[in-house]
Each structure stands twice: as C-alpha cells, then as structure tokens.
C-alpha cells in the first residue's frame, strides 16, 4: 500500500521537472580583476520564453533567496532582477571567500517570484577570483616599512607648522586687542537694519503718494500717521505707537535725555504738528470735510514726513562717523 501511494507523487515530481525551463545566463563581473574579500557585482543577462511577472521595474529578492544561493565560497549580499528590452538582468552583489573558479549552483526562481507559469531555473557560469599570492609571488607576511619621506621636505614641514602657529597667534592677538572688530560688525548690522526700515517707509510713502487722490482725507491721514509712527517705533522706541500727538515732542526729549541737537528737536516738533493736523482729519467728522486737503497739500505732508525721517537717517550716519 505504501509503495502504491508514493508512485503518484513521483510521477507528479518528474512531470514538473520536465516542464521546468533551464536557462543559461551570460555573466559580467565588476571589477574584472577581483580578490578574496573584495565586493564584486555579477551582472547576469538572460532571455526567457516564460514571462517573469515583475510588479516593479526592479524586483529585490529577500534574505531567504540570498542565503539559498550563497555557499562556502561566496556570500550574496544583494540580488535585484530587472527587465531590459527583451532580456532580463539579475544583478548579484557578492563577496568571494576563496580564489580560483567559483560556481553558483543552478537555482529556480519559482519559490521567490509568484505567478510564474512554469518553473524557471537559472544556470550561472563560473567566474574567476584572482589570487594575491599568485599575482605578487609572495606567500609570507612582509615587514612593515616606514613612511617614505622625500629628501629635503622635513624643513618645509617644520616651516609650515611654525608659520601656521604664528598666523594663529597673530589672529588671537588681533581679536583680543581690537575690540572695534566686534563694534564694526555691530555697526554694519545696525546700518543695514536702519536702511531696511527707511526703505520700507519710503516705499509706503511712494505708494500713498501715487494713490493720494483716490482715497478720502481720513484714509490719507490715517495711512500717513501709521507709516510715520511705525518708522519711529522701529527707529527709536515702540512707545511711539502709543503716545498721543501732543505728547510726541516731550516723549522724544525724555527718551534722548535732552541730548539731541536743536535741529532734531525741531523736526520732531514739526512731526507733532503734522500728527495733530492728521488727527483733525481723522476724528473731526463733518467739520474736517469743510476744509478738505488739496492734492498739493497732501504732497506737501508726504514730503515733510519723508524729509524728517531722512534727516534722522543722515544724523545717524554722522554720529557713527564721529
């Protein structure tokens, strides 16, 4: 009874083998000359009458496949199968562990790739790994050699070391003694910041100047005061956004400790008067409509704000130069 039950399985096994397609591949090793322990790449190219279904352009085999095709002479660390035109290419990344001809046993792709219509068996030709001993003719460990020094270069090396030491020492002295270096960079940073603030103000005034006749007096006054207050708050103190128009001059005098020039005080006073005029246009309601601003008056107010702020920029530059 046992012999009879085994016979159908043997018949099925032989039948499957008869339908298996064995394919011989061509192999190209990179680098062409490799030694034991080197990492090599085997590019195995083959054509197959059986369509190999690849879900992606490159099919990366799992570790089970790598372990199955590795042997004592070779470790396969990565395997990628791809299709190029009518051919397939199996790229194997390997590390050989012995010299001479190395062979990978024929293997089937069926256990690793699903939906193959027939078993596909690949036969990879042997490839050669070079022997270091055969190439060099030396079969014993060689004595270590001292570093090769070109005659006359010792003093050049000493000179470079001394020069580097002097340069570093000089640089340290310059940094320690010249405190103005830090002040110089702080000055550059401040000038850049102030220049950026003034450019922003000037851009806003130019936009207001271009649209002054398309907006109401109240809108014009509101935008003009907002531009001027924003500049003053960034230039001097955020409190300039909060103080009233009549408090503008006393606050500036207190902020600067009464140390500014008479011209600076005059400009702040003129700006305070301008703010009061704008406040009337903003909050007087119908009374403001009885004395509307002409286009020329708007132009004059814009130019006055521009000139006052330009004065403070010029004064800053003169103070820094001194």
Looking at residue 318, its pLDDT comes to: 58
Looking at residue 148, its pLDDT comes to: 66
Mean pLDDT, residues 114-128: 87
Looking at residue 15, its pLDDT comes to: 44
pLDDT for 171-208, tens place per residue? 888 777 666 656 656 657 667 777 788 888 888 888 98
For the chain, the straight-line distance linking the first and the last C-alpha, in angstroms and rounded, comes to 116
Whether 20 has a pLDDT exceeding 80, the answer reads no
**Cα→Cα distances 140→77, 100, 137, Å:** 31, 19, 9
Crossing angle of helices 295-321 and 217-235, rounded to 10°: 10
Tokens 């005029």 correspond to what residue? 277
Whether 278 has a pLDDT exceeding 60, the answer reads yes
Crossing angle of helices 248-255 and 262-283, rounded to 10°: 150
Rounded CA-CA distance 153/159 in Å is 10
pLDDT grade, residue 5 (50/70/90)? very low
Give the residue ranges of DSSP H helices in 28-153.
63-69, 132-136
Nearby residues of 170 by Cβ (< 8 Å), 6 or more positions away: none
pTM: 0.41
The answer to whether the beta carbons of residues 234 and 288 sit under 8 Å apart is no
Looking at residue 68, its pLDDT comes to: 92
Checking phi first, is residue 259 left (phi over 0); if not, alpha (psi -120 to 50) or beta? alpha
Whether 41 has a pLDDT exceeding 70, the answer reads yes
pLDDT grade, residue 65 (50/70/90)? very high
Rounded CA-CA distance 251/311 in Å is 19
Looking at residue 69, its pLDDT comes to: 92
């Amino acid at each position: 009874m046992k012999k009879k039950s085994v016979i159908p399985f043997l018949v099925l096994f032989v039948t499957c083998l008869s339908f298996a397609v064995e394919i011989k591949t061509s192999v190209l090793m990179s680098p062409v000359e490799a030694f034991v322990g080197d990492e090599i790449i085997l590019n195995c190219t083959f054509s197959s009458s059986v369509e190999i279904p690849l879900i992606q352009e490159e099919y990366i085999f799992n570790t089970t496949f790598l372990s199955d095709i590795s042997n004592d002479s070779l470790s396969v660390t990565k395997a990628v199968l791809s299709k190029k035109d009518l051919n397939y290419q199996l790229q194997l990344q390997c590390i050989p562990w012995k010299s001479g001809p190395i062979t990978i046993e024929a293997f089937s792709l069926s256990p690793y790739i699903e939906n193959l219509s027939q078993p596909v068996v690949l036969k990879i030709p042997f490839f050669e790994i070079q022997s270091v001993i055969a190439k060099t003719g030396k079969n014993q460990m060689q004595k270590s050699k001292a570093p090769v020094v070109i005659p006359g270069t010792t003093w050049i090396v000493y000179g470079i070391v001394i020069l580097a030491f002097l340069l570093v020492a000089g640089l340290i002295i310059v940094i320690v003694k010249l405190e103005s270096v830090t002040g110089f960079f702080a000055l550059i940073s401040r000038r850049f910041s102030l220049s950026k603030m003034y450019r922003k103000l000037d851009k806003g005034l130019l936009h207001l100047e271009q649209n002054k006749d398309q907006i109401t007096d109240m809108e014009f006054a509101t935008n003009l005061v907002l531009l001027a207050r924003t500049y003053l708050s960034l230039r001097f103190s955020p409190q300039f956004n909060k103080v009233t128009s009549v408090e503008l001059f006393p606050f500036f005098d207190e902020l600067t400790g009464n140390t500014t020039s008479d011209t600076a005080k005059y400009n702040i006073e003129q700006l305070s008067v301008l703010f009061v005029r704008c406040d009337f246009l903003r909050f007087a309601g119908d009374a403001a409509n009885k004395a509307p601003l002409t286009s020329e008056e708007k132009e004059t107010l814009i130019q006055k704000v521009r000139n006052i702020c330009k004065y403070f920029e010029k004064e800053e530059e003169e103070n820094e130069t001194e």
